[in-house]
Amino acid sequence: MSVTAREIRLASRPDGWPTEENFAFADVELPSPSAGELLVRNTFMSVDPYMRGRMNDVKSYTPPYELGKALEGGAVGTVVESGVDGVAPGALVLHNAGWRSHALVSQYTPLTPVEGVSPSHFLGALGMPALTAYVGLLDIASFEPGETVFVSGAAGAVGSLAGQFARLKGAGRVVGSAGSAGKVAHLTGKLGFDAAFNYRDGAVADLLARAAPAGIDVYFDNVGGDHLEAAIGALNNDGRVAVCGSISMYNEKQPPPGPRNLHLLVGKRLRLRGFLVLDHYDRFGAMAAEVGQWLAGGKLVAEETFVDGLDNAPAAFLGMLRGENTGKMVVRL
């Protein structure tokens, strides 16, 4: 059996903000899987901030996407035809050949469907974003119960989980920032943040000082830029920053100046630590066990924003970069 797969390729590299022109569509014939391979029909695919970095021709922790080739990224799919003993058609797998309708994969993780939980959560609240939030908060920032935690990009996939994990782990106060009044209401309402602000409403340092009048102990940084400067100013002695991402920078042609207050690291004995989730998959089991319980017990809100159809994946990606999602942005195929 062969199938015609539709795939999305990198047509050109963006200079600053990406556009639909940077993407191209193509149909390719996929043969039957060889031994060790699976032919998978994708049902959900992820669009994530880190993908913006891979569109640049810059050596980094993952190689850049290649011009003229299909993009990659997390996806959940159903096995159509199997070249692997013990994996039958119909099985659910997680793999990295997103941005296409079908794929031949040899590296994948078998998934066990969970009653009442959409398989799309394996791309979000039970997947990479959840592990990012979990490791960043607990291992990188060494969060302790009772502490005040500030999360930027708090309505996004990782941020909304980091803030809720802090609450569920006994934070004294959880503060979030987001880019619209609606998101702010969502944070303090449905997600149970103690305070939140719209960073477009003024200087971040002022807004943060009002939301956390006694300062903060941990900052989970998804944004960089003036958020990071404000957080350094607000951190109490022995404060910690988990530097997860800098979405405010990804589309800047010239990097803006950094925080002017790094000298505060000395007097306040602050720690800033960058991390990549790919180094921390040894913690996946612990995360999945704890988060699975919270989800099953209705204690964790795993919000998703769905965009339908592979042809709308570039729009979903661009919308995610502009902050149009609440929770995890997922393309439903």
Distance, CA of 27 to CA of 42 (rounded, Å): 15
Query: Within positions 221 to 260, which residues make up the interface with a copy of itself, using CB under 8 A?
Result: 224, 228-229, 243-246, 249, 255-260
Does residue number 271 form part of the binding site for a copy of itself (CB under 8 A)? Answer: yes
Query: Within positions 32 to 91, which residues make up the interface with a copy of itself, using CB under 8 A?
Result: 53, 60-61
Distance, CA of 224 to CA of 147 (rounded, Å): 21
Nearest to 160 by CA among 204, 101, 220, 118: 220
Task: State CA 224 to chain mean position distance.
Answer: 15
Comparison of 196 and 216: residue with beta carbon closer to a copy of itself: 216
Residue selected from 276, 288, 301, 315 as contacting a copy of itself according to rule CB under 8 A: 276
Distance, CA of 49 to CA of 245 (rounded, Å): 8
Give backbone dihedrals phi and psi of 95, rounded to 5 degrees, phi first.
-155, -175
Nearest to 175 by CA among 139, 227, 249: 227
Size of site (CB under 8 A) for a copy of itself = 34
Concatenated DSSP letters of 287-330? HHHHHHHHHHTT-S---EEEEESGGGHHHHHHHHHTT--SBEEE
Comparison of 6 and 13: residue with beta carbon closer to a copy of itself: 13
Does residue number 325 form part of the binding site for a copy of itself (CB under 8 A)? Answer: no
50, 61, 317 from 160: Cα distances, Å: 17, 25, 18
Does residue number 153 form part of the binding site for a copy of itself (CB under 8 A)? Answer: no
Closest distance of CB 61 from a copy of itself, Å: 5
Comparison of 130 and 242: residue with beta carbon closer to a copy of itself: 242
Q: Site mask, a copy of itself, residues 4-33, x = CB under 8 A? A: ------------------------------
- Contacts with a copy of itself by CB under 8 A lie at 53, 60-61, 224, 228-229, 243-246, 249, 255-276, 279
